[in-house]
Structures are given as structure tokens and as C-alpha cells.
Structure 1
Amino acid sequence: MAQAAFEEIAETFEFLDDWEERYRHVIELGKDMDPLEDALKVPATKVEGCASQVWLVPMIDGTGPDATFHFRGESDAMIVRGLIAVLHALYDGLSVSEVGEVDARAEFERLGLNDHLSAQRSNGLRAMVERIGKLAHAAKSAG
């Protein structure tokens, strides 16, 4: 059920020979994202459970279960910023109902990321996925 943008990342990973190249690609994805304005970097948007500073800002189009989920994010760590870009490719543009159907762990396994992230980064990634799920669920329930 992955988005086209995520499939593009998965295809690129297939052509990259080693993890270092994939790691660099993830960092480049993060560098391509627009930074968040400082006004959005507040406690309400901060993701707890991440070793680095992470902010996720939802932008929901519509109401109820068919509302479209969008978000922006940023981190002070380059690799985490890249992981946010991968999550953006995975979730952005789905309906808030579809967000809950995504098996992020399985999708990240396709990329081989689960095997190459430290325990701390894996916990942070899990915290970001949980936050995205909660944001989408709240938007779905708000309709």
C-alpha cells in the first residue's frame, strides 16, 4: 500500500550497493525538505521518545475518515531528518483512515533500515510512527 514516493525510495535502495550509500541517500532526502519555522517548534509538536530533537506538524485537509493527511517535520539530527523524509513519503497524502493501515515496520524492513539503525534511532522512529498514527486517529475522530 506504499505511496509512489516511498516506492521510488525503495527502488533507489535496490540500486545502492551498501548501507553507507543508503545512509547517505536518506540524509540527502532530509536535506531536501523545507525547514520548519521556529514558531512550529513548540512542545505540542515535539516528539517524545527521540534522542534528538524532532517536531512533527500535521496538516489535515478535510474532516472525518476521508480527510487527507499531510505533515511537515524536522530534526536537529541529519539522519533523523532523513527518516522524517522517508516517513513523509510513506504517509503524506493518504486519508487519515489509510494512515492506520500502513505497516511502517514492514515498509522499513523492505528498505533494510530496521537492521541498520541503532536501538536509540529505532526507538525514535517508532515514536515518530506512533505520533503520526495518533495525529491521524485524532483527525479521523474529529469528523
Structure 2
Amino acid sequence: MERYGYIIELGRKLPPFPDDWANDAHRVPGCQSRVWMEAEARDGKLFFAGASDAAIVSGLVALLLRVYSGRTPGEILATDPIFLKELGLLEALSTNRGNGIAAMARAIRERAAAEQPVG
């Protein structure tokens, strides 16, 4: 239960997500709760913003952003989301939330792959 409290607190500390981004174009498919993410490429790095309509899921968004935001596409792709399992996080979550965090990590990695320099 303490772990949930920490995750919820992370979500409360997320920077405000612009209301006009909370739409289908930014929605992460595969999440039971509504989750929106946006990425900006700047100086060879990707910076992610995200939000959810659920407190615990907002915390999961915040956790992923801490790991992946501000990194190069190559660094993102080299960071396997296995850390979620190693933290014991997936076992503590419902199956639907586990699937949702996997969908969020996949969306981040797909964006990184799209930004990866060719050659």
C-alpha cells in the first residue's frame, strides 16, 4: 500500500498537461484509464509530457517520464522496460493496469524509434 501512495504522489507532481492535448490524437491505446502523452524532440532528445484521469495511472505516467524523458532516442530504445518487473511493480498492479503501463512504455519506445536517426 505504501508503494501505491508513493506512485500517486508522483502523479500529483506531474507538470500541468495542456487541456487541448487531452484528445484522441494524444491518447495512448491499450490503457483502461484515459492516458494522454505528447513528445517534443529538442537537441537530439525527446521530452515527454503525460496525464491520466486516474490518480494511480498518473503516477505510473510520472514514473515512465522520469525514466525516459530527456533522453536520446537511442537511450530510450536501449532502456528495456524490464525495470518495471524488477521493481516488483507489475506484480502489485491489476492485470489491466499492468497492460496499461506496458502500452505507455510501448508508445514511448515507438516514438523513440520514429525519431531514431537513419544510417
2:40 alignment partner, SS class: strand
Deviation at 1:93, TM superposition (A): 1.4
Give the distance between the partners of 2:118 and 2:52, measured in 1 at CA: 28
* 2:71 counterpart of 1:94: yes
2:28 alignment partner, SS class: coil
Q: Deviations over 1:25-74 (max 9, x none)?
A: 00000001122111111211100110000000001113xxxx11110000
Q: Match for 2:30 among 49, 61, 72?
A: 49
2:97 alignment partner, SS class: helix
Deviation at 1:142, TM superposition (A): 7.7
Look up the match of 1:78.
55
Structure 1: gaps spanning 5 or more residues:
1-19
Look up the match of 2:12.
31
Normalising by structure 2, we get a TM-score of: 0.93
- Paired letter, 1:28: E
Radius of gyration: which is bigger? 1
Structure 2: gaps spanning 5 or more residues:
none
Give the distance between the partners of 2:118 and 2:39, measured in 1 at CA: 14
Aligned counterparts, 1:85-124, within 5 A: 85-104=62-81, 106-124=82-100
* 2:113 counterpart of 1:137: yes
Per the alignment, do residues 121 and 68 of structure 1 end up closer, same or farther by CA in structure 2, a change over 3 Å counting?
same
Normalising by structure 1, we get a TM-score of: 0.78
- Paired letter, 1:79: I
Q: Indicate the RMSD between aligned Cα atoms, in angstroms.
A: 1.5
- Paired letter, 1:80: V
